[in-house]
Structure 1
Amino acid sequence: MSDNKPHILVFPFPSQGHINPALDFSKCLASNGLKVTIILTTMVSKSAQVPSNSSINVEMISDGSEEVKEQESMEGFFKRFKAAASQNLAKFIQERRETCPAKVLVYDSSMPWALDVAHQEGLLGASFFTQASGVCAVYYHMYTGLIKFPYEDSEVLLPSMTPLGVNDLPCFSFSPDTNNSIVRHLADQFLNLEEADWIFINTFDKLEYEVRKHYSHTVIRSLQQT
């Protein structure tokens, strides 16, 4: 690839369900002439499935998992991951500033702190939601407090969506402490979302027509890979 192509960093959460959509999005960017580096963390260094002949550059940073000796609580995991990954992400960007500077960091929406790293290092930041708009809407209303967890109402009404029963909402089947940590983690996706330079959602028009119609006054656009 020529050096004058805009360089995009893509930083997924270290889970295959988050890495795969980020990888597909990265391929879409690369097919449109952009230089793309996907940044994985040591937690998935052996399990992540990234094609070796890909047009995407793959790099690794430490998330502190290699130093964990005992089983962590979910709260401990999120705290350790944020501390180590944010520091090493910033270091990664700094070390390549002279040789291969990036313009944009596309980060998994579940890691809102990555936007702070991007802006501190002079990059634009784009939040990437790996789940569909309807699911994002549920998590957003958890964040605003409209939806309470544990679920208190038998039916939930959200804009542009048919009534949702409890069985339609995300199920958290762990211990109460773990459930609370996960719910906070999902709700925190929206902490600084208004500060993001772009927002990408893993959906398409025909899948969620009513939801997209409701937000047609915004700058939401569909991205299609050819």
Structure 2
Amino acid sequence: MSPPHFLVIPYPILGHMNPLLQFSQVLAKHGCKITFLITEFNQNRMKNAIENLGTQINFVALPDGLDPEDDRSDQPKVILSLRNTLPSKLHNLIQNINASDGDDSKITCLVISKNMGWALEFGHNLGIKGALMWPASATSLASFESIPTLIHDRIIDPETGLPTRKQEIQLLPNSPMMDTANLPWCSLGKNFFLHMVEDTQSLKFGEWWLCNTTCELEPGALNRWPRFLPIGPLIQSDTTKSSFWREDTTCVDWLDQHPPQSVVYVSFGSLAIVEPNQFKELALGLELLNKPFLWVVRPSTDSNNENNAYPDGFVGSKGKIVEWAPQKKILNHPAIACFVTHCGWNSIIEGLCGGIPFLCWPFFSDQFINRSYICDVWRVGVGLDKDENGVISKGEIRKKVEQVVGNEDMKARSLKLKELTLDNSAEGGQSSKNLQKFINWAKD
């Protein structure tokens, strides 16, 4: 029997592309054939990175339907354009692939990420199997799946998704209590909520909803629906490049010069924007620490991200600042003491696999739920609290770093959770078995 041929279709932002790339690398190691779809805009922007990813995966590019000068941080605009532009071009792409080398080359399964649910319905109509690879927590996926119930129980407004009143709810058994104002769609606007209602309906055409998680991390969500399939952690070896952005590897050499558990690592992922006042306060907070720090500061690429003005009094002599970092290597480096994070799911999984305690600084979407898991359920981190002006002060940063660094009980829990998490991907582990189950399903 021929190995399955997966056409992987991520939503074209880094937080979706990287986990689907990591999953593709895992499938390729199991002998599967992979065609990975990116937009022409990202192909031009990431040309060198794609060339350095090796030959195991075949990358193909299609237009996203936007003009070069359009703002691709406008997510509703991107989502609508992709839905209008891609189906006809995707149909031609699949026809061309299927005609190229006979039966052995035919696409047997589509794997898509959030915001691309229409592609599962599209594939279903062509008789092609489909699966969702969810790039966030299983609990956040369960929250979207629970929208009809939340509307029925009058917890949220059916038109906007906003809570009808201030309250805390437990979305699932064995999950933390949640302020309804922190439901994943509340900070993203009415249009995003209505899109996700529609997108979640399309996800029903995927037989499996794959999640980069484990049964120990999110039992409540994973036990709720039989199509949830945990396959995490998707952590490749250090030799495998699994990011589309150019990484500054000099920071690893810099870490080598520091003693164990001495460096504070700060990174807020690929999308979160730190406002100018908050950026300056963070810089002053790191200066106050009297500890070395490694800080990822993305370059300003548009008018919304002019946040890189360092304050007077910031020297930064104890730290190293880079534009992008090889995060998995960093979080597995013995010099790292704690991780100041936006609580994006990819970062959390990488931190858990490094056994690193967290300082939680969520910005939007599922990041608030993830903070609750870190602080209240797993107890491997603490939250950073805003003052009356809505700013996380330099004093708060110093206080919470000191609270985490050197906390032996928290470090012990972090190392125990690391062991439990990684065991799932080892041979005979539950995630490893689930992955083989998925590949066997795709072959049939």
Give the structure-2-normalised TM-score.
0.44
SS of corresponding position for 1:8: strand
Per-residue deviation, 1:21: 0.8
The structure whose RCO (Cα within 8 Å, separation 6+) is larger is: 1
Bigger radius of gyration = 2
CA-to-aligned-CA distance 1:42-95 (integer Å, 9 cap, x gap): 232234454432511111111212x46666975444322211112211111011
Write the distance in 2 (CA, Å) between the matches of 1:198 and 1:117.
Answer: 16
Per-residue deviation, 1:167: 5.7
The 1:120–1:169 alpha-carbon spacing in structure 2 relative to 1, beyond 3 Å, is: closer
Match of 2:85 in 1: 84
Contact in 2 for aligned 1:94/1:121 (Cα 8 Å): no
Contact in 1 for aligned 2:24/2:57 (Cα 8 Å): yes
The 1:57–1:141 alpha-carbon spacing in structure 2 relative to 1, beyond 3 Å, is: same
Question: Partner amino acid for 1:159?
Answer: L
Residue from 12, 17, 32 that aligns with 1:19: 17
The 1:162–1:35 alpha-carbon spacing in structure 2 relative to 1, beyond 3 Å, is: same
Unmatched 5+ stretches in structure 2: 233-424, 427-444
Match of 2:132 in 1: 127
Match of 1:58 in 2: 59
Question: Partner amino acid for 1:187?
Answer: V
Alignment map for 1:72-151 (pairs within 5 Å): 75-99=76-100, 100-142=105-147, 144-146=149-151, 147-148=155-156, 149-151=161-163
For these two proteins, the number of residue pairs brought into alignment is 217
Question: Partner amino acid for 1:218?
Answer: P
Residue from 201, 215, 222 that aligns with 2:230: 222
Q: Residue 191 in 1 paired to residue 201 in 2? A: yes
Alignment map for 1:158-197 (pairs within 5 Å): 158-160=171-173, 161-166=175-180, 168-170=182-184, 173=187, 179-197=189-207
Q: Calculate percent identity across the aligned residue pairs.
A: 24
Write the distance in 1 (CA, Å) between the matches of 2:185 and 2:118.
Answer: 25
Write the distance in 1 (CA, Å) between the matches of 2:71 and 2:54.
Answer: 36
Match of 1:203 in 2: 213
The 1:102–1:144 alpha-carbon spacing in structure 2 relative to 1, beyond 3 Å, is: same
Question: Partner amino acid for 1:165?
Answer: D
Match of 2:367 in 1: none
Contact in 1 for aligned 2:37/2:61 (Cα 8 Å): yes
Question: Partner amino acid for 2:172?
Answer: P
The 1:111–1:151 alpha-carbon spacing in structure 2 relative to 1, beyond 3 Å, is: same
Unmatched 5+ stretches in structure 1: none
Two-structure CA RMSD over aligned residues (Å): 2.7
Contact in 2 for aligned 1:40/1:58 (Cα 8 Å): yes
Contact in 2 for aligned 1:13/1:108 (Cα 8 Å): yes
Give the structure-1-normalised TM-score.
0.82
